[in-house]
Amino acid sequence: MSAVISINEVGKRYIMGTQKVYALRTVTLDIEENEYVAIMGPSGSGKSTLMNLIGCLDTPTKGEYLFKGESVGKMNDNQLAEIRNREIGFVFQTFNLLPRYSSLKNVELPLVYSGVPGSERQRRAQEALDHVGLGDRVHHKPNELSGGQRQRVAIARALVTKPSIILADEPTGNLDTKTGYEIMALFAELHRGGNTIILVTHEPDIAEYAHRIIRLRDGRIESDEVNANPRQPEAELAAQ
């Protein structure tokens, strides 16, 4: 089975005035379907930069990135938008829900951009919200929801297009510990359902839920290990 994500000697350099900032120096990495990967590392080590590259929000300044065998570096804006829309689901630390929209409308949004008609869109958004346990909060606006609920809406939005991978940058960063575990339980379930999950965290006990842990330092991979004994969030929640 070939890798969904194949990153070969990829780097990202920003130019700030006369200065070059190496956000990512050289990274080589393959991620297979249905993997559950955590990316760790100190602040400024390039975690978000790597995530943005994987998520096709940005293109590398060196090396080659193959997404499902296709070179991302050669794609134009529209093709990148298309990949983000169909293949990738983003979950952000700050949720990034649109404040004027209800939960349902927020979740419908990616489907608007793939041209799914209204009734079909609503049905699928409702389904995704049911999936994350928020089927009864469809008409709430983000400011009428708790932090954990907002992150669930964001996860529903990431799921609704049935993407191949879910990218989460510090998804528990703005949540209290217990709510964070609930979100991790949701990820575990999605993973068991066949999703590929890549999450960024600097909290070791969150990374422990993943099946593979990649550590970055100064824009390079410091270590890339299999987590032989991942934590089981459901069991922990039940035990509490």
Partner 1 sequence: MRVLIEIYESILLALKAVWSNKVRSFLTTLSVVVGVSFVTLMGWILQGLDNALEETLSMFGQDVVHVDRWDWTNQTDWRELIKRKPLRLKHFKELEPKLDFAQYAYPSTRNNGATIKRLDRAIKDAMVIGTTDEAAFGLASNMESGRFFSSVEAQHASPVAVIGSLVAEHLFPEGAPLGKRIKYKGRNYTVIGVLSSRATLIMDFVDKEVYIPMKSFVNQNGKTQILITVKGLPHLTQEQTSDELIGAMRSVRNLSPGSKEDFSVNSSEALAEMFDEFRIVVWGVGLILTGLSFFVGVVGITNIMFVSVTERKREIGVRKALGARRRSIILQFLTEAVVLCIIGAFMSLALCSAIVYFAVTQFELTFAPPHIPPFWAFAAIATASIFGVLSGLIPAMSGARISPIEALRYE
Given the complex with Mg ion, which of 68 and 220 has the nearer CB atom?
220
Please give the Cα distance from 127 to 108 (Å, whole number).
Answer: 11
CA trace torsion 152, 215, 207, 197 (10° rounding): 40
Footprint of partner 1 on residues 192-221 (CB under 8 A)?
A: none
Given the complex with partner 1, which of 71 and 114 has the nearer CB atom?
114
21 binds, among partner 1, ligand ATP, Mg ion, none (CB under 5 to 8 A by kind): ligand ATP
Instruction: Supply φ then ψ for residue 141, to 5 degrees.
Output: -85, 160
Helix (H) or strand (E) holding 56: none
- Residue of 118, 133, 193, 204 that binds partner 1 (CB under 8 A): 118
Please give the Cα distance from 36 to 155 (Å, whole number).
Answer: 16
Site string for ligand ATP, 29-48 (x = CB under 6 A): ------------x-xxxxxx
Please give the Cα distance from 72 to 128 (Å, whole number).
Answer: 28
Please give the Cα distance from 104 to 135 (Å, whole number).
Answer: 9
CB of residue 205 to ligand ATP, shortest distance in Å = 16
Q: Which residue has the tokens 């559950």?
A: 36
Q: Does 215 bind ligand ATP (CB under 6 A)?
A: no
Please give the Cα distance from 72 to 228 (Å, whole number).
Answer: 32
- Residue of 49, 149, 164, 196 that binds ligand ATP (CB under 6 A): 49
- Residue of 16, 228, 238, 239 that binds ligand ATP (CB under 6 A): 16
Q: Which stretch binds partner 1 (CB under 8 A): 28-36, 61-69, 77-85, 203-211?
A: 77-85
Q: Does 90 bind partner 1 (CB under 8 A)?
A: yes
3 by Cβ neighbours in 10 Å (0-12 / 13-18 / 19+) ranks as middle
Please give the Cα distance from 91 to 180 (Å, whole number).
Answer: 13
User: Which residue ranges make up the site for ligand ATP (CB under 6 A)?
Assistant: 14, 16, 21, 23, 41, 43-49, 202
User: Which residue ranges make up the site for partner 1 (CB under 8 A)?
Assistant: 52, 55, 57-58, 77-78, 81-82, 84-86, 90, 92, 96, 98, 100, 109-110, 112-118, 157, 161
User: Which residue ranges make up the site for Mg ion (CB under 5 A)?
Assistant: 48
